[in-house]
Homo-oligomer: A and B are copies of this chain.
Amino acid sequence: MTPPRKMVSEERGKSRPGLTREAIIAAALEIVDEEGLEALSMRHLGSVLKVDPMAIYYHIPNKSALLDGLIEAVMGEIDLSLDDPSLPASERIVLAAHIYRDVMMAHPQAVQVIAINNLNTRESFRPVEYLMDIFLGAGFSPHRALAAVNIFGRFVRGFVLFEVHQIFAEEAAACHGCAPTESLQQLLPVEEFPRMNEVMASVGALGTVDEFDLGIRALVDGMFATFYEDEDQMSVNEDQT
């Protein structure tokens, strides 16, 4: 019932092309990219693959595993060779953040899957290992390096997640024929929200890339400035191994 670890037909003669895990995931990613996440149903996926929806279940245990596959595919697009080891560590971290973000922004519709789920596969952990190496190489203690990697990952994924959410929301609002920020302005009366109105009056929409860069630089700077002090206070909560 469940797929075997190795396909016999794949090892020797390849008489059966048929369905593949990879082909399924590729098709799924294409659907998500082009039609949105909510369009990814097993039935639709089956029709794209010109196959009975149930055929997919021979190669993939359930839909959640399919989504894991999507994450794996996108994470696999991360190109670590874009890194430049001659740069100072903090710059490499910032660069890594941008690489990470770019890959995700290339699949905006898939971001809510990529960003939300935890990493499950070896492939997905390779960039983490790479990042960990940078932090440790920069002199972070294992404690701090782990915290830094977690914080980094959460910042980037969280930021991108909300970035695309905001983009979609603005698109939806614009689609209804009204200016993007207009609805916000009429939602927030001046007397109750003076500061918001003050800011909205003097500032247009900010480029999100700049915002991201600003944020990640602040975070990285802060981490490099802070993480070398007060190491001792953290060794309190050690649990198992």
- Chain A positions within 8 Å of B, measured between CB atoms, are 112, 115-118, 121-122, 125, 128-129, 132-133, 136, 142-143, 145-147, 150-151, 153-155, 157-159, 161-163, 165-166, 169, 179, 181, 187-188, 192-196, 198-207, 210-211, 214-215, 217-223, 225-227, 234, 237-241
Contact = CB atoms under 8 A, between A and B. Distances in A.
A202 B132 CA distance: 14
Nearest to A166: B118
A208 B133 CA distance: 22
A203 B188 CA distance: 47
Question: For the complex formed by this chain, how many copies does it contain in all?
Answer: 2
B215 A151 contact: yes
Given A202-B142, A234-B210, A225 B226 contact: no
Given A151-B159, A157-B158, A214 B226 contact: yes
Given A219-B218, A241-B204, A112 B116 contact: yes
Nearest to A215: B151
